Amino acid sequence: MIISWIWAVSLGLAVGSIVLSLYYKVPILLAWSIPGTALLVSLFPNLSLNEAVGAYIVAGFITLLIGISGGLDKILHHIPKSIASGMMAGILFDFGRGAFLASANSPLLAFAMLISFLFAKRFTPRYAIVWVLFSGLVVAFYLGLIQTKQVLTIYITEPIFIFPAFSVQAILNLAIPLVLLNLTGQFLPSMALAKTHKYAVSSRPIITTVSILSVLVAFFGGISIVLAAVTSALCMSKDCHDNPAKRYVGGVFDGVFYLVAAVLAKHPKKD
């Protein structure tokens, strides 16, 4: 079931990111709802998988209605640029704080990646993430954190269709809170970020498309698909490309990597 979930979400993210970015020439990156995942975990085992799928479908249709109505555009029209920047700063602050907290488990690895980021940000800011990844791999290999004896085997993913079950409990405890979390935590700051970077794109077609994808992937266990706030901030900045008109390529390649994840989501069982 987990493999089917990864396949469905990754495929939905790939299709949405590639199509929307190419069509609007704007870096539109999608993600799955992390707060929604945490909410789902808190509801198990009182909620069955079939009920969770039903709640995902209901949440998708509710978001679809909001997207068609264009209500989010009206809200964005009244949000000042400073407020939009503050919303993104709040999201990124928690993300950055988590990186420092995680350093307690492997301080040498975290310190090496931090130093490489600071140097790369100063001299080659566009490739800072690449240098962080490279330094992390080198240190992880030195510490013996990377398994080199395991044989690499490629498995093609086999999706599993899950019949939905609808219940009042699932709708009230999962679907409605999921919609609120997605709108306030993902859709709103992401669209506000696009507005801050002067990308003139309406939220109506984007949210409508994302909602339809959410409904489709739900039948295979996929949680709601949303706009990515953190990765969108990366691809909309000048570190992605000096020319804002060419930054949409970041969204396209984001989708390509998700497509690879969808195809290769299956992993071998341990003996």
Domain count, the chain: 1
Segment 106-155, tens digit of pLDDT: 888 888 888 998 998 888 888 888 899 999 999 998 888 877 676 666 66
Q: Is 31 helix (H, G, I), strand (E, B) or coil?
A: strand
Contact 136, 112 (CB under 8 A): yes
The reported pLDDT for the residue numbered 87 is 60
On whether residue 192 sits in a domain, the answer given is yes
Residue 32 near residue 224 (C-beta atoms within 8 A):
yes
Round the average pLDDT of the chain to a whole number and report it.
Answer: 83
In a domain, 229, yes or no: yes
User: Is the residue at 23 inside a domain?
Assistant: yes
Displacement of CA 271 from its chain's centroid (Å): 32
pLDDT given for residue 13 in this prediction? 94
Q: Mean pLDDT, to the nearest integer, of 156-183? A: 86
pTM strictly above 0.85:
no
Whether 168 maps to a domain, the answer reads yes
In a domain, 78, yes or no: yes
**Other CB atoms within 10 A of residue 161 CB:** 10
pLDDT above 50 for 7: yes
**Where in the sequence is the domain holding 44, given as residue range(s)?**
2-95+157-263
Nearest Cα to Cα of residue 230 among 87, 123, 43: 87
* HEC string for the chain: CHHHHHHHHHHHHHHHHHHHHHHHCCCCCEEECHHHHHHHHHHCCCCCHHHHHHHHHHHHHHHHHHHHHCHHHHHHHCCCHHHHHHHHHHHHHHHHHHHHHHCCCCHHHHHHHHHHHHHHHHHCHHHHHHHHHHHHHHHHHHCCCCCCCCCCCCCCCCCCCCCCCCCHHHHHHHHHHHHHHHHHHHHHHHHHHHHHCCCCCCHHHHHHHHHHHHHHHHCCCCCCEEECCHHHHHHCCCCCCCCHHHCHHHHHHHHHHHHHHHHCCCCCCCC
In this prediction, residue 268 carries a pLDDT of: 52
At 205-253, the pLDDT tens digits run 999 999 999 999 999 988 889 998 878 888 888 878 888 889 999 999 9
Q: Per the domain annotation, does 176 fall within a domain?
A: yes
In a domain, 121, yes or no: no
Q: Please indicate, yes or no, if residue 164 is contained in any of the structural domains.
A: yes
